Structure 1
Amino acid sequence: MTGARPSRRLVLAGLATGFAAGAQAAAPAPVAVGSKLDLESALLGAMVLLALREAGVPVIDRLRLGPTSLVRQALLAGAIDVCVEYTGNAATFFQQEGDPVWRDAAKGYERAAALDLARNGLVWLSPAPADNSWIIAVPRAPARRHGLTSLADFARRVAAGGRARLAASAEFVESPAGLPAFEAAYGFRLGADQLLVLSGGETIATMKAAADAISGVDAAMAYRTDGALDALGLVALEDPLRSQPVYAPAPVLRAATLEAWPAARAALAPLFAGLDVETLRALNARVAVDGEDPAAVARGHMARRGAP
């Protein structure tokens, strides 16, 4: 004796359930957005989150995950799908620190993009027209008084015996890409008595030391996009010999993520195209100087540039 025949309604309901389950299984996973701990990275990460969300891409917030090394490993391992990285860091990732290509914005970006795609399946989208490389900054008044606009001017003053004491981190003083690169390019040398090495080396501390002449400091290690430069009355000395790699921020995604969510490219391209040095400094100042939340600053910036 055969069993009861299922009704047409039950068959259709079962098919619908099966199709729905299949569609759900085929849906791409949400995009995990990570960032580093520093304020600028948190700000840029928040912008990436907002831009993707507005483009209809579901996102997971994994901002302020850790330092560069941890975020890089998370991206390689697939624990995050996208982060903002700086082109100059690729020189370290691929052990090419001595190659002059990293001092050229366009060529450095092209090298980073090619290497990461070929070796790691990572896609570098177009970078911002900004450079967050190390700089030396001096207070505005003495800069005017002594005609200091570039590192060449600073080097001449040091060589002539002019007063100079630099506040910096140990990393900046010891890294070949930091102070030694400036000294080699411009032919000056700061002695131990001309350095105030601050533990931790946060640039807000080094800049504050120079602005307030703490312990005789009259120059500071900083970053080109630091938001506190203008607020503290400091001048970023230009580096005409391009002794530093270019550190242009760019979104870096797993290739599989971009394939699953192609709208990400169009969502992020105009955002980063508008982030020049002046814009980043102004946004960073709201976070570092005014104490605003990076996510709130990101929302305000996105709203002003016409995001829905």
Structure 2
Amino acid sequence: MKLPSLKPVVLRHVTTTFAAGSLLVLATAHAAGPVVIGSKIDTEGSVLGELVLQQLKNGGVDVKDRLQLGVTNIVRQALVSGEIDIYPEYTGNGAFFFDMTDSPVWQKADSAYEAVRDKDLEANQLVWLTPAPANNTWAISVRGDLARDNDLTSLEDLADYLQAGGKLKLAASAEFVESPQALPSFQEAYDFELSQDQLLVLSGGNTAATMRAAALQTDGVNAAMTYGTDGGLQALDLQVLDDNLGVQPVYQPAPVVRQSALEENPEIEALLAPLFEALDRDTLQRLNGDVAVNGLDPARVAADFLSTLDN
């Protein structure tokens, strides 16, 4: 992405009559400090944060670790205020940052990215870099055996399966079942309807509980409310059904950096672009699963993945 109006940081027209000491003072005054890297406190935040930290450090950028700083509003405020310089955020959260939850721009990847990129640059001098193709949005996932036996890969397939009399019971939170933006919007768009007997409503919004219910077939459950990149999906053999109609807002992870920090360290953009381009849905599920399910240290998971990008 070409950045608008970036000012060069290289000093020009320095005369040779300056004393060596004066040159040293001048260079020190303009030296960039370390790039302070933050991240959210959840599993995916820890993975993405470590990937950013290690990729920049490996690329020769001086970095400072402020990973797993807190929840979204805490990390976002730290970036806006200049406490940190960069962290991984989701494009769809622009709907909340800019009070645009009713706008259709968030339903498509390109328009969501462009909207939050343009607004954040104008309002806050924050630059959104290359996003990952992964989409960590609300999803309906089914057991792997059900998906394989019935060729279920999308919500259109699910609607056809239900229309033909297929059996389904979904574990979900009350919010997912009742919120107009969640299950009701899926049902309207794809023309199916689940009865109360086809729902297991769990308290809270923890997808670990809904995925576990599907994996164990609790009370006949064979489908679960999930997020697109949940770490337990592959380990529990659950298949995310593609939302081809774009019912849910798109939540692509992307690095967001203070414009001043990017001007001082322009190599950041080129270092992070190939990394985030490699983070498709299955890859991010696997990396999250290594931490959430296999108990590996996020730093190790990130280092192992980055080593594969170098080959």
Counterpart position of 1:95: 99
Larger Rg: 1
**For structure 1, which segment, 181-190 or 123-132, has the greater mean C-alpha deviation from structure 2 after superposition?**
181-190
Q: How does 1:203-282 map to 2 (within 5 A)?
A: 203-282=207-286
C-alpha distance in 1, partners of 2:241/2:287?
Answer: 21
Q: How does 1:117-132 map to 2 (within 5 A)?
A: 117-132=121-136
Q: Deviations over 1:204-261 (max 9, x none)?
A: 2211110101133221011222232222121211222111122111110011111111
Taking only aligned residues, the RMSD between alpha carbons, in angstroms, comes to 2.4
Report the CA distance shift for 1:84/1:168 in structure 2 as closer, same or farther (over 3 A): same
Question: Deviation at 1:105?
Answer: 1.3
Aligned-pair identity (%): 53
C-alpha distance in 2, partners of 1:170/1:59?
Answer: 42
1:112 to 2:116 alignment: yes
C-alpha distance in 2, partners of 1:121/1:298?
Answer: 29
Q: Deviations over 1:144-190 (max 9, x none)?
A: 44554322343455567754332223443344432232123123344
| Secondary structure, aligned partner of 1:135 | strand
Counterpart position of 2:5: none
| Secondary structure, aligned partner of 1:283 | helix
Structure 2: 5+ residue stretches without partners? 1-18
Q: How does 1:44-55 map to 2 (within 5 A)?
A: 44-55=48-59
| Secondary structure, aligned partner of 2:54 | helix
| Secondary structure, aligned partner of 1:132 | coil
C-alpha distance in 2, partners of 1:203/1:218?
Answer: 14
Match 1:76 to one of 43, 66, 80: 80
C-alpha distance in 2, partners of 1:132/1:232?
Answer: 18
Amino acid at match of 1:173: V
C-alpha distance in 1, partners of 2:104/2:78?
Answer: 28
Counterpart position of 2:290: 286
Amino acid at match of 1:97: T
| Secondary structure, aligned partner of 2:244 | coil
Counterpart position of 2:176: 172
Q: Deviations over 1:81-133 (max 9, x none)?
A: 11111111112222222322222212221111111111111100011122222
Question: Deviation at 1:20?
Answer: 4.3
Amino acid at match of 1:268: L
Report the CA distance shift for 1:283/1:163 in structure 2 as closer, same or farther (over 3 A): same
C-alpha distance in 2, partners of 1:164/1:28?
Answer: 57
Paired residues, number: 293
Counterpart position of 1:181: 185
Counterpart position of 1:56: 60
| Secondary structure, aligned partner of 1:88 | helix
Report the CA distance shift for 1:189/1:264 in structure 2 as closer, same or farther (over 3 A): same
C-alpha distance in 1, partners of 2:211/2:292?
Answer: 12
1:32 to 2:36 alignment: yes
| Secondary structure, aligned partner of 2:295 | coil
Counterpart position of 2:16: none
Amino acid at match of 2:238: L
Structure 1: 5+ residue stretches without partners? 1-14
Amino acid at match of 1:204: A
Amino acid at match of 1:279: T
**For structure 1, which segment, 137-146 or 124-133, has the greater mean C-alpha deviation from structure 2 after superposition?**
137-146
| Secondary structure, aligned partner of 1:76 | helix
**TM-score (ref. length: structure 1):** 0.85
Amino acid at match of 2:62: P
